[in-house]
Amino acid sequence: MPGGVNSPVRAFKSVGGQPIVFDHVKGAYIWDVDNNQYIDYVGTWGPAICGHAHPEVLQALSAALEKGTSFGAPCYLENVLAEMVIDAVPSIEMVRFVNSGTEACMAVLRLMRAFTGRDKIIKFEGNYHGHADMFLVKAGSGVATLGLPDSPGVPKAATQSTLTAPYNDLAAVKKLLEENPGEISGVILEPVVGNSGFVTPDAGFLQGLRDLTREHDTLLVFDEVMTGFRIAYGGAQEKFGVTPDLTTLGKIIGGGLPVGAYGGRRDIMEMIAPAGPVYQAGTLSGNPLAMTAGIKTLEILQRPGAYEQLETMTQKLITGLLAAAHDTGHAATGGNISAMFGMFFTDKEVHSYDDAKEADTEKFGCFHRGMLEAGIYLAPSQYEAGFMSLAHTDADIEKTIAAARQVLSEL
């Protein structure tokens, strides 16, 4: 396997050492092949919001397995999960399931261009929307971690219609819209960034984008692959009260199985084949196992107190981590929104990808190694958000903060 991994973000290239090879997971914990146990704050990059291998999800999957692993045809479960997504996410009137967040973003890109009849898009520096050619321009996630400016193999023609702006910079977006009148199909962004580290929108930024896109008759797309059902049941659009035209989803709606989705206004979504002329297909789309795990996960998240618990626990964690850093003489900044969090080693508030790049990545690498040796598994990159689950306990949080204080005191 190239680099020993099947996804670059799993590598430890930016933090040193070799990646941990896992054997099994349960609740808030992971065990490697040598049977070392870790408290996990990666959560399979977000989907394990209820905890790994949740017994109710496993029970539902076991029953679904008896009916078969793939139909390649319509199944009832697709309709159940579709209704749950439509009920939850303000922008979604119709939805199409696919197999990954990358696939969802690829499809929504084609859809926004077809609907508007325009080719250009605006994305934000450090926002990652999968590895499709048009999105690999100033992307975050593994591209940022490995220091790749743009990926070789992407022809210039594929990216010449991609315009970029700094995140949280409304003036830059306004300028691009004015300089390209009638040419921009849409603006796509992570409403809360998780692929430059954890970066939140400034007050008024999301609403400002909504106003600008309406003024210029262009579409607004929220990539909620990370934030969907995590920072609120209805995602960032519910949390901030700003409704885009289209939304991409993934991770949590598959309950740990491969899944993605895109949806939005009915008049736009009806352009998708076979209802309309925009082609997109997938043999495993709407897979019954992924639908089953997603349905059960969303059912668990709807229970009273779930999001209050996630907010309380995550806030306790990030508050403790920042205090540990400051008390031991390290500059650090960070925060959380519900069950998504992040911390940078810098004395500057982080509002954009450029701000994130000023953080001390060498110190983060040392911190990551120390925490790993203390039994705490964090994302092996400064440029990735962290994730809390309903399975984490107060004892887990306290152990994590104590470990951080010890590691930081030795750095």
| pLDDT band at residue 153 under the 50/70/90 scheme | confident
3-class SS at 170? helix
Q: What are phi and psi of 410, to 5 degrees?
A: -95, -10
In the prediction, which pLDDT does 378 show? 97
Q: Quick one: how many helices (H) and strands (E) in the chain?
A: 14, 14
3-class SS at 294? helix
**Inter-axis angle of helices 170-179 and 205-215, to 10 degrees?**
10
Greater pLDDT, 232 or 157: 232
Enumerate the CATH 3.90.1150.10 domain ranges in the chain, comma separated.
Answer: 2-54+304-410
Average pLDDT over residues 110-117: 97
Q: Which amino acid is at 217?
A: D
- Angle at the Cα of 65 from the Cα atoms of 61 and 66, rounded to 5 degrees: 125
Question: Over the stretch 318-363, which tens digit does the pLDDT of each residue have?
Answer: 999 999 999 999 999 999 999 999 999 999 999 999 999 999 999 9
pLDDT at 51 over 50: yes
The answer to which of 137-141, 217-221, 243-247 has the lowest mean pLDDT is 137-141
pLDDT at 212 over 70: yes
Reported CATH class of domain 2-54+304-410? alpha beta
> What fold is seen in the domain 55-301?
Aspartate Aminotransferase; domain 2 (3.40.640)
Whether residue 105 contacts residue 250, with contact meaning beta carbons closer than 8 Å, is answered with no
In the prediction, which pLDDT does 276 show? 96
Spatial distance between the Cα atoms of 334 and 198, rounded to a whole number of angstroms: 8
- The H or E element containing residue 344 is strand 340-344
pLDDT at 170 over 50: yes
Spatial distance between the Cα atoms of 95 and 247, rounded to a whole number of angstroms: 9
Spatial distance between the Cα atoms of 109 and 106, rounded to a whole number of angstroms: 5
pLDDT at 140 over 70: no
Which of 279, 274, 271, 246 minimizes the C-alpha distance to 261?
A: 246
| pLDDT band at residue 133 under the 50/70/90 scheme | confident
| pLDDT band at residue 147 under the 50/70/90 scheme | very low
How many C-alpha atoms does 208 have within 13 Å on its Cβ side? 13
In the prediction, which pLDDT does 46 show? 94
Mean pLDDT in the chain?
A: 93
Which of 155, 26, 128, 97 minimizes the C-alpha distance to 284?
A: 97
3-class SS at 1? coil
**Inter-axis angle of helices 55-65 and 288-301, to 10 degrees?**
150
pLDDT at 143 over 70: no
The answer to whether the pTM exceeds 0.75 is: yes
Question: Over the stretch 248-276, which tens digit does the pLDDT of each residue have?
Answer: 999 999 999 999 999 999 999 999 999 99
In the prediction, which pLDDT does 149 show? 44
Enumerate the CATH 3.40.640.10 domain ranges in the chain, comma separated.
Answer: 55-301
In this structure, what token pair is assigned to residue 77?
């479960």
Spatial distance between the Cα atoms of 68 and 136, rounded to a whole number of angstroms: 37
Active site residues per annotation: 128, 223, 251
Return the HEC string of 201-229: CCCCHHHHHHHHHHHCCCEEEEECCCCEC
Alpha-helix runs per DSSP H in 17-153 = 55-65, 76-88, 101-116, 141-145
Q: Tell me the C-alpha to C-alpha distance, in Å, between residue 179 and each of 107, 173, 298, 401.
A: 26, 10, 43, 49
pLDDT at 288 over 70: yes
Average pLDDT over residues 121-133: 88
In the prediction, which pLDDT does 131 show? 80
Q: Which amino acid is at 137?
A: V
pLDDT at 154 over 80: no
Residue 178: CB atoms within 10 Å:
10
Whether residue 199 contacts residue 232, with contact meaning beta carbons closer than 8 Å, is answered with no
